[in-house]
């Protein structure tokens, strides 16, 4: 656990920053793909310390943010059923569906439980054979393997009252889609290290070559981010565009074979809608036909969902890196973590929430400060 301190060392950070400052000669726009990286950048004020020429654009890598409204509404519908125990990771409970969230379903009598592992949900199913237990399986390549493992275990143990509401998404097709957007400004990527620790790096060389962008596999501590920026900027300044692993302590090029085998067995690739963005081909997983009976959507045949989307929210553009959170007119006024318009303001990894929580001082002083005359300053 010494690792955490070491990767937040201010002196080492200063050296990396000096190197980046010395390297940069032109403006560059880098996208950090993962919401966890966004969180670290904003929380530690890293973007304030980089040269002005280096712009960090926040990518779509927050699993909570990109889960489609329709799936949230399906979760709310299933969780409301009296025979269901609905299990979820904590941060999904506050994400608004159409008109309410899982916290409200719970306050209305729904049995919604926060679990910390999908295997906890499976245990609840074993202990409650007379009830249907549903686990909300969302997230990127990081959470998909344990969820796959849970379904595998359920079948192996003959547990029939368990199912998965699946909305898993894959990163490389999202990078592809971002690069194909006509208004894309991204010149280099900080790829999500934990995604690569599962999947390996095999999908990236073709992406880097096709779009002529450097892709640097990057971790999540402050020094990881700075090292990722340093390597990406070096490549850009030299006109290079290769895949570089700056997270070698966790990522092997081949990934995690056991996790990959589990994914292969339980899931199959499918088109998937991303909240605020739309459908990206081949960008998701669903349960394969062999595991159909464990698919909550199939089991509960949730239909007739009418989603309702507010027109003011521009988080689709934020997720694409086309708009900074504070450039949205609703930011900090109509839209706050207390009453969010969109999921990017709800999730702690969402770019809008990160800006609101950590950046309000310089972004919206007029909205938040009271006049000096009003304060009892001596």
Q: Which of 6, 15, 18, 43 binds another protein (CB under 8 A)?
A: 43
- Alpha carbons 300 and 312: distance in angstroms, whole number: 33
Task: Please give the Cα distance from 235 to 66 (Å, whole number).
Answer: 30
Site string for another protein, 175-214 (x = CB under 8 A): -xxxxxxxx----------x---------------xxx--
Nearest approach, Cβ of 293 to another protein (angstroms)?
A: 25
267-286 residues in contact with another protein (CB under 8 A) are 275-278, 280-282
Nearest approach in angstroms of CB 176 to another protein is 5
Does residue number 300 form part of the binding site for another protein (CB under 8 A)? no
Enumerate residues 6+ apart whose C-beta is below 8 A from 280: 173, 174, 177, 271, 272, 273, 274
339 binds another protein (CB under 8 A): yes
Whichever of 294 and 356 has its CB closer to another protein, that residue is 356
Question: For another protein, which is the closer residue by CB, 233 or 343?
Answer: 343
* CA distance readout (Å), 122 to 10, 64, 237: 43, 22, 51
In the complex, minimum distance from the CB of residue 138 to another protein, in angstroms, rounded to a whole number: 7
- β partners of residue 189: 31, 215
* C-alpha to C-alpha distance for 138 and 64, rounded to whole angstroms: 8
Q: Which of residues 97-136 bind another protein (CB under 8 A)?
A: 97-101, 103-104, 106-108, 114-117, 120
Per DSSP, 28 falls in state: E
What minimum distance in Å lies between the beta carbon of 333 and another protein?
12
Cα 80 to Cα 283, 291, 314: the distances in Å are: 29, 24, 30
Residues 231-260, interacting with another protein (CB under 8 A) = none
Q: How many CB atoms lie within 10 A of CB 365?
A: 9
Please state the closest distance from residue 248 (CB atom) to another protein, in A. Answer: 20
Please state the closest distance from residue 67 (CB atom) to another protein, in A. 10
């Amino acid at each position: 656990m010494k690792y955490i301190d070491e990767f937040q060392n201010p002196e080492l950070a200063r050296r990396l920053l000096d190197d980046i400052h010395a390297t940069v000669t032109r403006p560059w726009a880098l996208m950090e793909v993962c919401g966890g990286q966004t969180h670290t950048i904003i929380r530690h004020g890293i973007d304030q310390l980089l040269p002005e020429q280096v712009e960090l654009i926040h990518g779509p890598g927050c699993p909570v943010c990109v889960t489609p409204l329709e799936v949230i509404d399906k979760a709310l519908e299933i969780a409301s059923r009296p025979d269901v125990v609905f299990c979820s990771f904590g941060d999904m409970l506050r994400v608004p569906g159409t008109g309410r969230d899982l916290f409200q379903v719970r306050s209305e009598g729904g049995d919604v439980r926060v679990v910390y592992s999908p295997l906890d949900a499976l245990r609840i199913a074993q202990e409650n054979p007379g009830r249907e237990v549903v686990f909300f399986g969302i997230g990127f390549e990081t959470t998909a393997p344990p969820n796959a493992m849970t379904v595998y275990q359920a079948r192996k143990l003959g547990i029939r009252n368990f199912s998965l509401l699946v909305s898993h998404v894959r990163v490389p097709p999202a990078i592809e889609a971002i690069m194909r957007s006509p208004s894309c400004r991204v010149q280099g990527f900080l790829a999500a290290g934990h995604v690569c620790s599962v999947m390996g790096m095999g999908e990236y060389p073709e992406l880097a070559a096709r779009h002529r962008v450097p892709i640097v596999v990057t971790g999540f501590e402050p020094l990881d981010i700075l090292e990722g920026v340093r390597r990406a900027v070096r490549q850009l300044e030299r006109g290079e565009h290769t895949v570089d692993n700056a997270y070698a302590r966790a990522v092997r090029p081949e990934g995690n074979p056991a996790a990959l085998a589990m994914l292969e067995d339980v899931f199959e690739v499918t088109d998937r809608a991303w909240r605020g963005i739309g459908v990206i081909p081949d960008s998701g997983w669903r349960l394969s036909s062999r595991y159909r009976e464990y698919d909550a959507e199939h089991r509960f045949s949730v239909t007739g969902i009418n989603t309702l989307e507010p027109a003011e929210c521009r988080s689709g553009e934020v997720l694409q890196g086309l708009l900074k959170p504070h450039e949205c007119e609703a930011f900090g006024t109509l839209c706050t973590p207390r009453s969010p318009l969109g999921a990017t303001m709800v999730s702690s990894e969402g770019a809008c929430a990160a800006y609101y929580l950590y950046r309000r001082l310089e972004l919206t002083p007029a909205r938040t400060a009271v006049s000096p005359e009003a304060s009892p300053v001596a």
